[in-house]
Amino acid sequence: MKYILYSTLLSVLFIACTHEQKPASLDDLAENYVKLVLEIGQYNSDFVDAYYGPEEWKPTAKKQDSIPVQDFIVRAEELIQSVSDINVNDSSVLIKNRKAMFTKQLTAIKTKLEMIAGKTYDFDKEAQLLYDAEPPQYTEEHFDQLLSKLDSLVPGEGTLTERFNLFADKFIIPKAKLDTVFRVAIAEARKRTLANVSLPGNENFVLEYVTNKNWSGYNYYQGNYESLIQINTDHPIYIERAIDLACHEGYPGHHVFNALLEKNLVVDKGWKEFSVYPLFSPQSLIAEGSANYGIDVAFPGEERVDYEKEVLFPIAGLDSSKADLYYQILEIKGKLNYAGNEAARKYLNGEFTREEAAKWLEKYSLNTPERALQRTGFFDQYRSYVINYNLGKDIVATYVEANGGTADNPEKRWEVFKELLSNPNTASDLKVEE
């Protein structure tokens, strides 16, 4: 009898130990990950861009007087190790991508925490750790060549920046017409998107106008397929920005991206780590890059210009007689986008003062002095995040086109684009071998 009891006890202990040693799954780790991100977000208002997970996962403990950054770093490191320990060798490509993205998101979180604690990285290293990308570098000569092309096109007298802004002033949307223009632009972007992408029937958004921000537009995704889209009216808004922001913040940009992640990954697959979106992470490069590329997907080639001239110009009460020249100028000016990255790199690396960075932006981004200073404020707040807009767009565009989504095959372009938005991806996942 004693032998039987002893054997039974050993069996129970063996089962208990075996159970304790069972490695965690990605699903098991998701809750700890989400709670860590939300707790950090209590101390940094920019850290969490969106959350639509279980209400009971939100922090309940009283916020401390100062951020317990070292404790957070240790927890991030433990999660990184736990994710690393999970064997997915025999799993699908999708599961492998899930694990890879989980690790990269955690690496970014740890990096941001180290920065909060005082650790410094140069611009390029920071971008690589936070966004899984390597920013390209361009010389002044590269930008000077573009300025030379613009110089011969922009009419008027004075410096190129002065002439450009005087000419562009003819295309400012009057404040009284702003809401109408934006709502028409968003409705058209939504119609084009829904013709190619299936979204939950209750998807919706609220549009607001705000001031005193370092950005021009923002999507605060609310969960349950709803967004709050805010447009900053601190500075004049030009006619082309209506389609830009309608697509970028709405359709097929941030609103659609977040809705697809929520539906396909959180609701359908139960991957709860995607219920929280830490802003300073690889997810942002895909979010911003796809939002900018989505403009071209929804309004390809001349379709956009034609729509703006035929629909938005009359609503805004603008003269379209000079529109063709304006768009020709904007096309070349768009190639100056990377000048903003160079300004951020030099400023954040201590090579430029704020004033020098602003002067660079006035010259190479053709910003007004006021707008240039506002952008340095963006550098202060978001740092190397600037790469996500232009480099992110280029990475997404190259990937979509390499997979058959070329301009002459719009159906395939939408198909590849939608697939990209619906699955875990980071910049290195989308890298196309040359």
Res. 2: pLDDT tops 60: no
Res. 3: pLDDT tops 50: no
The 10s digit of each residue's pLDDT in 88-98 is 998 999 999 99
For the chain, give the percent of residues with pLDDT over 90.
91
pLDDT at residue 23, rounded to an integer: 64
Cα separation, 102 vs 104, whole angstroms: 6
Res. 47: pLDDT tops 90: yes
The CA–CA distances, whole Å, from 237 to 215, 250, 260, 306, 358 equal: 12, 17, 29, 19, 20
350: phi > 0 → left, psi -120 to 50 → alpha, else beta; which?
left
Res. 375: pLDDT tops 90: yes
Alpha helices in 152-174 (DSSP H): 160-168
The CA–CA distances, whole Å, from 86 to 26, 28, 72 equal: 8, 11, 22
Cα separation, 308 vs 240, whole angstroms: 8
CA dihedral 366, 323, 211, 349 (to 10 degrees): -20
pLDDT at residue 395, rounded to an integer: 97
pTM above 0.85, yes or no: yes
Termini Cα distance of the chain: 73
DSSP string, 294-353: HHHHHS-THHHHHHIIIIIHHHHT---TTHHHHHHHHHHHHTTTHHHHHHHHHHHTTSS-
Bridge partners (DSSP) listed for residue 238: 172
Cα separation, 274 vs 222, whole angstroms: 14
The CA–CA distances, whole Å, from 280 to 75, 129, 256, 287 equal: 18, 10, 20, 11
Bridge partners (DSSP) listed for residue 109: none
pLDDT at residue 434, rounded to an integer: 64
pLDDT at residue 214, rounded to an integer: 84
The 10s digit of each residue's pLDDT in 300-345 is 989 999 999 999 999 999 999 999 999 999 999 999 999 999 999 9
Average pLDDT score over residue span 45-60:
94
The band of 62, judged by pLDDT with boundaries at 50, 70 and 90, is: confident
Q: Measuring CA to CA, which residue among 325, 287, 21 is closest to residue 155? A: 325
pLDDT at residue 64, rounded to an integer: 87
pLDDT at residue 21, rounded to an integer: 53
SS3 64: coil
Q: Where are the domains of the chain?
A: 24-131, 147-201+236-430
Average pLDDT score over residue span 118-146:
97
The band of 61, judged by pLDDT with boundaries at 50, 70 and 90, is: confident
Cα separation, 287 vs 291, whole angstroms: 6
Mean residue pLDDT across the chain = 93
Cα separation, 112 vs 405, whole angstroms: 35
The 10s digit of each residue's pLDDT in 212-269 is 998 899 999 999 999 999 999 998 999 999 999 999 999 999 999 999 999 999 999 9
Tokens of 72: 């957070």
pLDDT at residue 24, rounded to an integer: 80
Contact 338, 145 (CB under 8 A): no
DSSP string, 197-212: ----TT-EEEEEEE-S
